[in-house]
Amino acid sequence: MPNPYNYSTVVTNPDMFFGRDAILNELYTRLRGMQSTSIVGLHRMGKSSLLRWLTQTLPDSLGQDFVPLCINLQDARYRTVADLVKMIAGALNERLGGDLPVSDVADMKGFSKLVDQVCCSDIHPVLCLDEFEEFTKNSEEFNDKFLDALRSLGAGAKLAMVTTSRVPLPDLIRAAQLGSPFYNIFSQLELGLLEPGEAQMLRREPFAREEITLSPENEALVEELGGRHPYFVQMACYYLYEALCQPEGAQGDVADVVRERFDRTAASHFEHLWDRLENDKRAALRAAIGKAVLTSETEQVLKRLGHLGVVEKSDGHWRVFSATFARYVQRMLELEQSAGRSQGIRGTATISKTPVLIIGLLILLTLVLLIAGALTTNILSVILILLSAVSAGVLLFLTLWYRHDDHDDTGRT
């Protein structure tokens, strides 16, 4: 039997798309009025799958006059404005019967005229732009002029847009040093963890279709590994399905097998997530795993992480989205703390060499002055002996001072 779970690609099978009812209802409401929406979510949170599902269900939900087109901007075919608008015009023409003058579309001016013509036919085009970051990575081509033209179509309710990105649109546009107010016609929705009931359906229903009933232990295993994160639930269920479908006697300890395979595959994704968390968010996670006191400032950071699906609040307490990722976070925080201590020890060792060097030089200077005073006569001898006495006094003072300082440091440690 083919494994129904597939964690490595966009969900294309309608039977494997679960949940997201609240955000879909919000999108339908906004699109009914041809309003544009920006969906923001972390890597592997299901943004592309959501867009795919939206394009499949929108005509049935709002009417056949709504024509959604989904564009993955990572596609190498869309590296110029001309290529992009030609492709959109061609897809729109195909959906509408093939009577549009698409040969005239080579730039934003031609594209705007085409959209005007479509709107006059009471058609509502919806442009779903996946991975919007790709535009701002190529800001010389997709510049302010391009964004302003898109914004004009959106503001006039001629074209509705739904974008996905890992960072809010205003931050993306500012980082690309663009000045267009493109983003101010969008409302922002954040894509986080699945709701508890949605995650439960994802865990159970595909197994049930194959006449496999999950034991409480196996369902708890999936929760431990993936929590309510759609990607990691898919991954855990994939390996669990593989383990349960092995012939009798070849399964081994199912939990151990699934954990080992999950840990090996998830490691790079955990690392990717961790590397993209700023220091304040990492510090806040320390509180989420019970290793730091929760302050009002930390609470605000955790709320933001909650919107993004890194943590969740349960029974009034913040926790990381899964027990497995919580262990990873604890390990990384311990490594950072250990690295910080090692750096401090190296720094202290370097500093401690400084007084030894100074004292050594003063001893050498004192000896030179005493010898020189002994070998000279009259007033010069007296001066050199006095200087050697001063040097010896400074040497004694520094020696006592550094010994006292070392004693204090030992006491503090």
pTM of the model: 0.80
| Cα three-residue angle 210-214-215, rounded to 5 degrees | 150
Radius of gyration of the chain, Cα coordinates, nearest whole angstrom: 33
Q: What pairing do the DSSP bridges indicate for beta strands 311-314 and 186-190?
A: unpaired
- Helices (DSSP H) in 138-215: which residue ranges? 144-155, 169-175, 196-209
- CB within 8 Å of 203: residues ≥ 6 apart: 214, 219, 222, 223, 233, 237
Q: Is the pLDDT of residue 413 over 50?
A: no
Do the beta carbons of residue 82 and residue 267 sit within 8 Å?
no
Structure tokens at 59: 């005509």
Q: Is the pLDDT of residue 97 over 50?
A: yes
- CB within 8 Å of 403: residues ≥ 6 apart: none
Q: Is the pLDDT of residue 3 over 70?
A: yes
Do the beta carbons of residue 86 and residue 106 sit within 8 Å?
yes
Q: Is the pLDDT of residue 235 over 50?
A: yes
- Helix/strand/coil percent split, the chain, to 5: 65, 10, 25
User: Per-residue pLDDT tens for 169-205?
Assistant: 999 999 999 999 999 999 999 999 999 999 999 999 9
CA distance 335 to 341: 10
| Cα three-residue angle 241-242-247, rounded to 5 degrees | 110
CA distance 37 to 373: 88
pLDDT of res. 411: 43
| pLDDT above 70 as % of the chain | 81
pLDDT of res. 228: 97
Structure tokens at 214: 């999950």
CA distance 132 to 48: 11
| pLDDT above 90 as % of the chain | 73
CA distance 128 to 91: 13
Mean per-residue pLDDT for 210-228? 95
Structure tokens at 354: 């400084």
pLDDT of res. 409: 45
User: Per-residue pLDDT tens for 118-176?
Assistant: 999 999 999 999 999 999 999 999 999 999 999 999 999 999 999 999 999 999 999 99
Averaged pLDDT of the chain: 88
Count CB neighbours of 245 within 10 A. Answer: 12
pLDDT class for 283, splitting at 50, 70, 90? very high
Mean per-residue pLDDT for 80-95? 94
Q: Which of 263, 267, 274 is nearest to 224 (CA)?
A: 263
First to last CA, the chain: 62
Mean per-residue pLDDT for 37-55? 96
* Three-state DSSP state, 175: helix
Do the beta carbons of residue 172 and residue 132 sit within 8 Å?
yes
pLDDT class for 98, splitting at 50, 70, 90? confident
From 14-23, 60-69, 375-384, the region with the lowest mean pLDDT: 375-384
